[in-house]
Amino acid sequence: MNKIESLYADFIQERENNALKRYLTDVTTPKAGRVITGGREYINFSSNDYLGLSQHPTLIERTQKWAAQYGAGSAASRLVTGNVEIFTALENKIAAFKNKQAALVMVSGFQANASILPALFDKNTLGEAPLVFSDKLNHASMHLGCQAASITQMRYRHNDMAHLEELLEKNKQSGTPKFILTESVFSMDGDIAPIDKIAALAKKYDCFLIVDEAHATGVLGINGSGLALKADLVIGTFSKAFGAFGAYIACSKMLKEYLVNKCSGLIYATALPPAVLGAIDAAIDMVPTMNTERARLQNIAQNFRNEMNDLGFDCGDSATQIVPIMIGQSDDALSFSENLKSKNIWAAAIRPPTVPNNTARIRFAFSAAHTEDDLDQLITTLKSYNIKAAA
């Protein structure tokens, strides 16, 4: 090991000492809501496959069909090899689904935030560095996008509209371009941003509103279309409720044209392969028809919250299919997760820096693929543990 590698080794050792080291675990996924590792099958309560579409035969069939028809890969950026015709039709479907003029398919949600935000916050285009008012608990990819743009975020307390307005009021005389940046559903807490109030503040203070809909698209809103109808630009993903991969933005036609000319994540990245586009296309046909599954999903989550509250567990402000049990210390969260695994329940411990210090938790993500027996087993298992073991 050379001198530089020893520094990386020290980092890993520090992570291990603080119960923060992460590992890759080899698994197979026989069906939605299940995972197998070490020859043992677990009920999977950590997946973001909210509607169980990742294993749906319709998605798999169209994946195979489009791979056979258009090939295994896209070979280069859409600006280099040409915009394969299936992109245009798919983006028109997405725009209609999100009630926007236009849409643009991106490689992944993380990559979208990391490259779209620098393009939008570009000080040369705007004439100066913008003011960006950002929820403190926004996803890491959103903070990275702000860092890549070399702008300083004005971070308001999580979902605190009084604090957001206070910051906006302090800066209302500035002619500097202003943006508000939030998620609609927060991935680690499962709570919902007050989008209507944020949109009203954006209008009052002449701000451009950007909303990440990763965990709302497909699950909430009219026919699963999300909650950000009043946003100027929406960013979302197909890797969660849509059961596939990739991301999108939905916006005006002019903004799409601007991003085609400015966004590094589109200009320099190889386009998604046809097989993935096939899965997205099938999912976007199916998702609007799945109101029954959406209603059941929310009912599952609400019943779980009720049971956990009765047991004395802290589920925070969860109001969606994402329900955390707050633990506190990372080693306690790891121990609790291992206890669940001993009962064939897969529920990952979420630790810093993914969440703030002293807020380690077990994050339960429910799916329409979960059966009543799955849920009964989970609740029975949690009832069997001393509440102090998870406090």
Active site residues: 48, 139, 183, 187, 212, 215, 240
C-alpha 264/C-alpha 148 separation (Å) is 11
C-alpha 134/C-alpha 147 separation (Å) is 12
The half-sphere exposure of 49 on its side-chain side, counting CA atoms within 13 A, is 20
Q: What would the two tokens of residue 231 be?
A: 């946003």
Peptide bond preceding 324 in cis form (omega within 30 of 0): no
Q: Per DSSP, which regions of 223-330 are E strands?
A: 233-237, 247-251, 322-328
Q: Which residues pair with 36 in a beta bridge?
A: 28, 41
The SS3 of residue 21 is coil
Specify the amino acid at residue 79: L
Under 8 Å between Cβ of 255 and 233: yes
Q: What would the two tokens of residue 310 be?
A: 């009765």
Main-chain phi, psi angles of 387, to 5 degrees: -55, -30
Signed CA dihedral, 40, 43, 45, 51: sign only:
positive
Q: What would the two tokens of residue 234 be?
A: 């929406």
Place of tokens 């779980």: 304
